[in-house]
Amino acid sequence: MRLNRLLSVFILMLGVCCHIVQSHAQTVDDAKLRPLVQALAGDNFEDTTKAISDLVKTGDPRVSKILDALSAGDLYLAKADKTVFLGKRDGSDYAATDALTGAKLDPVPRSAAEKIKVNNRLRRDIAAAVGGLTLMSDNIAERRSAAEAILKTRDPESIPLLDQAIAVEKDASVKALMQQAKAAAVLSSDAADDVKIAAITEVSAGNSRDALGLLTPLENVQGPVGEAAKAAIDSINTKLAFWNAVQNVVYGLSLGSVLLLAAIGLAITFGVMGVINMAHGEMVMIGAYTTFVVQQIIRTSAPGLFDYSLLIALPAAFLVSGGIGVVIERGIIRFLYGRPLETLLATWGISLVLQQAIRSWFGASNVQVGNPSWMAGSFDLGLITLTWSRLWIIVFSLSVFAILQLVLKKTMLGLRMRAVTQNRRMASSMGIRTPWVDALTFGLGSGIAGIAGVALSQIDNVSPNLGQGYIIDSFMVVVFGGVGNLWGTLVGAMSLGIANKFLEPFAGAVLGKIVVLVLIILFIQKRPRGLFALKGRAIEA
């Protein structure tokens, strides 16, 4: 382990000296370089590591490209003549080019070539070695990754090289990164105390997490350096404590929005109509599978539309789940109004049937639903990392909520729905066809569960069991928020999410969940109608 670190330092050192050679734009004879490239296909990782350092030593400008290919797993060894070539998969062959000259070679069948093995450590070493080679590159992205690689290795030997690079760097953000890398390197060197203290100030101005990693080992050093490090760590920790609280709120909102999405359809079927719908989770699952089918169709017929696949899936999932909801209501549930126990059992049976149907149709394993590019990755908000997919789900669930409120409050269908829930007989006497309103309401609730499935397919796995994971949470949210009240569902979901996230760091995920459940039981004892109890004659009856 120590040896590994020494090795990577060694490689980097070589990178440094060859960089100086490289400034004379030295290329090496192919005849000299070829055996070195050939040596990359060593029997074990030690051999390959040595071959990498030998290659870097030559200072040839082609080396960084070859090493990048190795790191990406594009270098292969032909089994027949034992030559190393650069391959790209092409059907059952590899399209081969000479690793050194880039000349096109005959394609090699897949079975006749063997990939040159790389593991994480080799990839790190290569990144560091290539980092030394590309710190002065013309390409800004290469310079940035070079600085990042040195920031990770914190190698004192790279300080003169960084000085050189900082002097000519024009881009402010890359320059800052290089300065961070230099300060990090200074801290691992045996520089004088005042230089180190300046480096501590520099480091603590940057990314706090990285800074903690750099400063923690210095904390126990005697003298002014240790004191400065301790002071810096303390101030970072206060900052982190604040951001931790912010993180809990943000993550809580994110968890809450997932709960809201899962529960909001149920808030209609259970909350508004009073149907204990155990098949609600399966409506979510069907929405997720609709997304999968839409993506499959897009993949085969219009790959360019992939980034829009979720937008296309939304109406499709609404229609599919909503349609199934209407069929279930007309076919089964309408015969069971006023018999909650039978409804519970019947819908539970439906949920099993739907699960097994999907399982027979698509198989028991997970299906792969891809993330469009705008859903992937994350961004930093202060000191917390928020992923794009979570952020979009927060936005999405709030918009679904808003749209649903509009439908209920501003449309004719909404007016009728509310009329039927508040007083069925009176609504019927006023000429509303209550059976159709029931069917449409149930369809609306199921359809919304379907579009929740589209969103959940992005963060959870899409399998026939998808719905089961959400059904308990959904009921919990609706009951806690107050049956029959959408605002209650919103507040209920968000407060459960945030409570969960504040408990999780102290109690752990398992105990946290239990504590939340116990709290809800206590709460329901006190307020059986939830947070926002509906008032009215029909309810009291």
Partner 1 sequence: MFNLPAKFIGTLAAAAMGASLAMSPASAADDTIKVGILHSLSGTMAISETTLKDTMLFLIDEQNKKGGVLGKKLEAVVVDPASDWPLFAEKARQLIEQDKVAAVFGCWTSSSRKSVLPVFEELNSMLFYPVQYEGEESSRNVFYTGAAPNQQAIPAVDYLAKEEGVERWVLAGTDYVYPQTTNKILKAYLNAKGVKDEDIMINYTPFGQSDWQTIVSDIKKFGSTGKKTAVVSTINGDANVPFYKELANQGIKAEDIPVVAFSVGEEELAGLDTKPLVGHLAAWNYFQSVDADANAEFIKEWHAYTKNDKRVTNDPMEATYIGFNMWVKAVEAAGTTDSNAVIDSIVGTSVPNLSGGYATMMPNHHITKPVLIGEVQDDGQFDIVYQTPGLVVGDEWSDYLPGSKDLISDWRKPMSCGNFNIVSGKCGGVTN
Candidates 53-61, 164-172, 348-356, 484-492: pick the segment binding partner 1 (CB under 8 A). 348-356
Structure tokens at 426: 């009176």
DSSP annotation of 367 reads: B
Candidates 60-68, 168-176, 204-212, 266-274: pick the segment binding partner 1 (CB under 8 A). 204-212
Q: What is the nearest approach in angstroms of partner 1 to the Cβ of residue 85? A: 18
Nearest alpha-carbon partner for 6 in 49, 60, 68: 49
The b-or-e profile of 240-254 (16+ CB within 10 A means b, else e) is eeebeeebbbbbbbb
Please check whether residue 234 is in contact with residue 252, taking contact to mean a CB–CB distance below 8 angstroms. no
CA distances to 48, 369, 458, 464 from 363, rounded to whole Å, are: 43, 15, 20, 9
Phi, psi angles (nearest 5°) of residue 432: -85, 135
| Site residues (CB under 8 A) for partner 1, limited to 136-155 | 152
The answer to the question of residue 377 lying near partner 1 (CB under 8 A) is yes
Q: Please, what is the Cα angle at 162 between 158 and 167, to 5 degrees? A: 160
The answer to the question of residue 385 lying near partner 1 (CB under 8 A) is yes
Q: By C-beta, is 191 or 212 nearer to partner 1?
A: 212
x/- track of binding to partner 1 for residues 69-108 (CB under 8 A)? ----x-----------------------------------
SS3 state at 102 = coil
The answer to the question of residue 237 lying near partner 1 (CB under 8 A) is no
**Which H or E element spans position 89?**
strand 84-90
Greatest C-alpha distance within the chain = 97
**Which H or E element spans position 77?**
strand 75-78
x/- track of binding to partner 1 for residues 35-64 (CB under 8 A)? ----------x-------------------
| Site residues (CB under 8 A) for partner 1, limited to 462-481 | 462-465, 468-469
x/- track of binding to partner 1 for residues 485-514 (CB under 8 A)? ---------------xx--xx--xxx--x-
Candidates 132-140, 371-379, 402-410, 443-451: pick the segment binding partner 1 (CB under 8 A). 371-379
Q: By C-beta, is 42 or 370 nearer to partner 1?
A: 370
The answer to the question of residue 389 lying near partner 1 (CB under 8 A) is yes
Given 28, 459, 519, 524, the residue binding partner 1 (CB under 8 A): 459
Structure tokens at 459: 């963060």
Candidates 244-252, 277-285, 423-431, 436-444: pick the segment binding partner 1 (CB under 8 A). 244-252
Q: Give the chain's end-to-end CA distance (angstroms, integer).
A: 74
CA distances to 23, 65, 88, 160 from 136, rounded to whole Å, are: 9, 15, 29, 13
Which residue carries 């809800």 as its tokens?
520
The contact set with partner 1 (CB under 8 A) reads 1-2, 4-5, 45, 73, 115, 117, 119-121, 123-124, 127, 152, 209-210, 212-214, 216-217, 247-248, 251, 254-255, 258, 352, 355-356, 359, 363-368, 370-371, 376-378, 384-385, 387-390, 459-465, 468-469, 500-501, 504-505, 508-510, 513
